[in-house]
Each structure stands twice: as C-alpha cells, then as structure tokens.
Amino acid sequence: MIVESIHIRFNEIKEVYKTFVANNTSGLVPQRQKASDYDNPDPVPQTQLGE
C-alpha cells in the first residue's frame, strides 16, 4: 500500500517536472534529455509494485 502511494505520487511529480521543463526550455535539447532521464531515476519502486 505504502509503496503504491509513493509510486502514484512519483508519477504526479514526474508529470509536473516534465511540464515545468517543457515550459522553461524553448526546445533546448539538453534540458529535454533531462526530462527523459527523470522517467526512470530508480527502477526499484516499479519492481516492488510487481508490475
């Protein structure tokens, strides 16, 4: 249960981060790369979910 809520919260933060980056870079490639790196900073939470 706890891990699941953390995962949901993480997804919300990830979307906010992506929007923030998209709104503040005007298409700068290095910044967009950061956004995609942020998708999987750590595979452990997803593994614990069993998905």
How do the domains of the chain map onto residue ranges?
Answer: 2-49
Six-digit token string for 47: 């593994």
pTM: 0.30
- The pLDDT assigned to 26 comes to 57
Instruction: Please state, in angstroms and rounded to a whole number, the distance separating the CA atoms of residues 45 and 4.
Output: 8
- The pLDDT assigned to 39 comes to 59
The residue ranking higher by pLDDT, 47 or 8, is 8
CA dihedral angle for residue 14, residue 19, residue 24, residue 26, rounded to 10 degrees: 120
- The pLDDT assigned to 5 comes to 76
Instruction: Please state, in angstroms and rounded to a whole number, the distance separating the CA atoms of residues 40 and 7.
Output: 12
46 pLDDT above the threshold of 80: no
Q: What is the pLDDT of residues 9-44, one digit of tens each?
A: 888 888 888 887 777 665 555 544 555 555 555 555
